[in-house]
Structure 1
């Protein structure tokens, strides 16, 4: 499975955001250094900043630069003019969206897709499709698109409102696989039900060719599947990091977040401060001997660091190990006294706790 990073485009759709072209380009170059296959930085028909970002990244990035376009000839022309490597035409064919979004028939939308793709082909640019609301579209209508556009290298299915679960994703993809090459299918999920990453992994197990991902899950509403989660799980569970350099994962994600001026929760998986910070007495005592006892992965594997915190929550086992680490033979009194001092002066990291233990006043 290849990865398309959609951080730059999706993050700009979050409420109240107004990133400069420079911010987006800086973030895009950082993401490109990870080794993702494609960057999807913008929608050229939407404005000059979008066009500038696509132009700049198409000339600077090693990854293919994908510009999105509605199923309108002028949108594709704008993407071509922005020097995108790939144009992804998007449109819905579900009953819900045809009626309440476009107000057109399915046949009319299929003709619009034809016309838009024809412009891209004429210009000699790679074209692909993204079917909006694809995971709520009846299978017979999805097959109609795959058969009609059988020359496209990839047709994507979007879970546009984040409504699907791994079970329904697997069901849709398995039904499709009976009729089409699943290696032509890409997926685009949203995380509204909290299962975006799980849906991507399900699609990966089904054999799809591409997944759209976003650093720190930045994206509209509650975001898209997090690139760092998929790469970390892939590396740990499937021995597949999808061409991404795992050691660069956390540092690059931090660069992107800084470039965009965003903040993430301390409890964000992989990237959050508390994801690799431990204070509970039982945990820190065991981790002083063997970190994997209470840790899902060594943070250094993905370019991060672990932090052990000592303070009010430190237990007797942890206090004993700190005292022993600086050459003090612990007994009940020294442990009690040290725990009292930790409670009063903590929380602190391991080095400061050892310094406290060595304090002559102790």
Structure 2
């Protein structure tokens, strides 16, 4: 059998937080249902953050509750602190994702805390979830792990240190995020190897952006290093409001095309993703949509992995 690669669609969270307009809750739910119908089995549907900071996420509780009704879907919600994690669990999220910036500048801009202070916050979330929600998964993303638009170069040793501190705090699912899209394939390989040498199988995934046009190349480098979990966004939506210059995530459609063409199984139907683009466009008609597969069309040579 072909090897499975898991894709978590982050468009409804990472993508919409940078949208110029607010997508109606009904349209957002229809889009998420379309993604699930295409075979996407993990979707980060929103974040529990103050609506005054990111008004696009004000309806996350309602969206989580809707997404829970979709059969076979793992519903993920981002939470920057314990209060957010409690709200995510209360709404019914299957998994809570918590960001920890490696660079001090981004950590201050995004969370108003130092990286080490945010690691301590994660420790408190671990303790609370063990006591009150052991059935809910917890994952932590090491943001700006490959560079920062505020601080510039992020030392590899610092990425390893933060990842090790998170593992010591009890986190068993840790990802590396190229938040601003500055990484290159050689750097992906080097950082993945260094972090894995320190924390082993606790390193599970990559979250990549395409600012410099290297997103898919970086995904391939991660794949060759054994990563089997990737975040991506339909139509390449996304960015970070607290990271100047950051552009969209890698395109889900293009990532699925690459993986399936190489013989990896994603369980996702490309035609279904193209149909979901129409739902996205209907809900956000003014937003730019990206992707080579959608532009060129699915080639006649394409065969899904079995």
Q: TM-score, normalised by structure 2?
A: 0.80
Show CA shifts across 1:114-141 (max 9, x none): 1123223322221110111122343333
Using the alignment, how far apart are the partners of 2:291 and 2:158 within structure 1? 38
Going from structure 1 to structure 2, the CA distance change for 1:96 and 1:127 (only over 3 Å counts) comes to same
1:14–1:219 Cα contact (<8 Å) kept? yes
Show CA shifts across 1:132-152 (max 9, x none): 112234333333344344343
Going from structure 1 to structure 2, the CA distance change for 1:142 and 1:301 (only over 3 Å counts) comes to same
Alignment partner, residue 66 of structure 1: 76
Using the alignment, how far apart are the partners of 2:286 and 2:192 within structure 1? 35
Q: Could you tell me how far 1:65 is from its partner in structure 2? A: 0.5
Going from structure 1 to structure 2, the CA distance change for 1:254 and 1:81 (only over 3 Å counts) comes to same
Alignment of 1:118-267 (within 5 A): 118-122=127-131, 123-124=133-134, 125-136=136-147, 137-150=154-167, 151-181=170-200, 184-220=203-239, 222-236=247-261, 238-261=262-285
Alignment partner, residue 6 of structure 1: 10
Using the alignment, how far apart are the partners of 2:104 and 2:280 within structure 1? 38
Secondary structure in 1 matching 2:79: strand
Using the alignment, how far apart are the partners of 1:260 and 1:95 within structure 2? 34
Using the alignment, how far apart are the partners of 2:75 and 2:111 within structure 1? 28
Alignment partner, residue 151 of structure 2: none
**Larger fraction in helix:** 1
Using the alignment, how far apart are the partners of 1:61 and 1:223 within structure 2? 28
Secondary structure in 2 matching 1:134: coil
Q: Which has the higher contact order (CA 8 A, sep 6+)?
A: 2
Show CA shifts across 1:65-105 (max 9, x none): 010011x2111111112111100111213243356655644
Question: Higher Cα Rg: structure 1 or 2?
Answer: 1
Corresponding residue pairs, total:
278
Alignment partner, residue 32 of structure 2: 28
Going from structure 1 to structure 2, the CA distance change for 1:7 and 1:103 (only over 3 Å counts) comes to closer
Structure 1: unaligned runs, 5 residues or longer: 277-295, 303-362
Alignment partner, residue 242 of structure 2: none
Show CA shifts across 1:274-316 (max 9, x none): x24xxxxxxxxxxxxxxxxxxx8318868xxxxxxxxxxxxxx
Computed over aligned residues only, the root mean square deviation of the Cα atoms, in angstroms, reads: 2.6
Alignment partner, residue 86 of structure 1: 95
Moved more, 243-252 or 85-94: 243-252
